[in-house]
Amino acid sequence: MAGRIAAGTGEANDTTVVYCSGEESTAQVASRARRLGITTPNLLLLSETDADAIVDQVAYMHPRPVAVVVDSIQTMRAPGVPSQSGTVTQVKECGIRFLHLAKTCNIAVFLVGHVTKSGDFAGPKILEHMVDTVLYMEGEKYSMYRLLRSVKNRYGASNEIGVFEMTSNGMQPVSNPSVLFVSQTPDEDTGEPMDGSSVAVVLEGSRPLVVEIQSLVSHTRQFPPRRAFEGVGYQRGLLLLAVLERRVGLPMQGREVYVNVVGGLKLQETAADLSIIAAIVSSATTTPILGKTALVGEVGLGGELRIVPQIERRIVEAAKFGFERVIVPSGTKLLGFRQIKGNLFALENSVSDLSSEIQIIRCSRVTAALSAAGLEDVVKKGKTRKLKKWESDNQ
C-alpha cells in the first residue's frame, strides 16, 4: 500500500517521491516495486534508519519531493536519544522530526507504523495526536479484501473507508464494495431466500454500503446459552436480544444465537439494529424475510424505531442493487424523492442503472417492521404469549 501511494503521488513528470525503508534494502524494495508494476522514474528509494539523516537529505533536495514515505516509524532512531528503536521515546522523537520536516518544507510525510495483536497502534498515543490523519488497515487474516479506515482526519470526515482487493499485482481498489458484503444465497430446493438472512444499508464515513447480516438460532441444553456476534458489538447484540424477548415476545431462553456480518465488516453504527433483529427472528422461526427487502433503523429499548441520518443515500444504494422495498422508521423525511402512490417513491433526478420506483415502508415499532418484512406470524404469536403471561400474573 505504501508503494502504491508513493507511485501514485509521483506519477507527474515534474514531481518526485522519496520512499525511506528502514526494514528492507533498496534492492528488496525495487524487486517488490517491479513485481507490482511500479516503474515510475520519479520514485526515489532510500534505505536508512537515521531520522536526522533522512530529514537532512530530503530538506536539501532540489527540487524538493512532494511526499516522503517512512516505512516504518518503529525502525527509525533519533541520534542522541539513549534508547533502542521502537521504544516510546524513539518513536516520539522521530515523529517530531518528521513533523517538523512536513511543516517547514511543505512536504506530505506518510508514516507507516506497526500494530499490536489487538489492532492498536504500537507506539505512544501522542504520535496519533501530532499527525493530521490516522489510517488503519483492517481485514481478516485469510480474506483477500482489506479495509483502509480513517479514524482521524483534520481535513475531512473521519471513519471513511476504502476497500481494496489483494491480487498478484498488489492491492487494487474495489469500485463497488457493496457487492462484497451481500451474498443472499437462495435455498437450493425452493429457490426462495434462506431464513436467518437480512440486508441493511450502513454508512461507513460518507459511503453507504449494502451489507448482509446472517443469524443462526438453535436450541441447546447448555446454560447459559451461547451468544456470538461477529462484526457486531457484543453488548449491542445482547441489548437487541433483550428487546426482542421483551417487546416482541420471542423467548430466547435455551437458544444459542450466532450473528455474522458477511464479508468481515465491523459495523460502527446502530442503523443495522432492525436488520439484526429481523435476521434473528427469521432464523428462530425458520421463516425467510421477503425477497428484495432491506431494513434500516435503530431500535430503542422500548421497541420503537429511531430515525437514522442520511436515509436518502441509503435508499438510493439499496435501489441500485435491485431492492424493491426498504423498511425505515416512521417520521423519516425523504428529500429528493417524489411520492407516486401509496408507499411508492421515485427519485426526482434520474440516476443511471437505478430502478425508477421503490417501495418505502415506514414503521414506528419493531413489531410493525417485522410484519412488513414477512414475519407477521411471529408478531401474532408474541402478542398471544405476552397476553397469556399477563393473565397468569394477574390470576
CATH code for the domain of 236: 3.30.230.10
Same domain, 319 and 246: yes
Alpha-carbon distance of 249 to 380, in angstroms, equals 9
Taking the model in full, what pTM does it have? 0.71
Which contacts of 10-15 are long-range, i.e. CB under 8 A and separated by 24 or more positions? 10/40, 10/42, 10/43, 10/65, 10/66, 10/67, 11/40, 11/42, 12/42, 13/42, 14/63, 15/42, 15/65, 15/66
**Which residues have C-beta within 8 Å of that of residue 182, sequence separation ≥ 6?**
199, 210, 211, 212, 262, 321
Alpha-carbon distance of 365 to 378, in angstroms, equals 14
393 inside domain = no
Per DSSP, the three-state class of 98 is: helix
pLDDT of residue 320: 81
7 inside domain = yes
Residue 366 sits at φ, ψ, to 5 deg, of: -65, -30
> Which band of pLDDT confidence, cut at 50, 70 and 90, is reported for residue 327?
very high
Same domain, 155 and 216: no
243 inside domain = yes
189 inside domain = no
pLDDT of residue 390: 44
Domain total of the chain: 3
Residue whose C-alpha is closest to residue 55's, from 110, 107, 98, 23: 98
Q: Determine how many CB atoms are found less than 10 A away from the CB of residue 157.
A: 10
394 inside domain = no
Q: Which domain holds residue 279?
A: 197-385
141 inside domain = yes
> What is the phi-psi region of residue 308: left when phi exceeds 0, alpha when psi lies from -120 to 50, beta otherwise?
beta
Same domain, 29 and 153: no
Same domain, 218 and 161: no
- Rounded to 10°, the helix 51-59/88-105 angle is 10
**What type of residue is 216?**
L
Same domain, 59 and 6: yes
**Cell 534494502, residue located:** 25
**Cell 533536495, residue located:** 61
- Rounded to 10°, the helix 234-243/273-285 angle is 60
185 inside domain = no
Record the cell numbers describing residue 276, joined without a space.
439484526
Same domain, 40 and 126: yes
330 inside domain = yes
Residue whose C-alpha is closest to residue 365's, from 238, 208, 249: 249
| pLDDT tens track for 60-116 | 998 889 999 998 899 999 998 888 888 889 999 999 999 999 999 999 999 998 887
Q: Share the mean pLDDT of the chain.
A: 84
Q: Which of 278-282, 289-293, 338-342 has the highest mean pLDDT?
A: 278-282
Q: What is the CATH number of the domain that holds 96?
A: 3.40.50
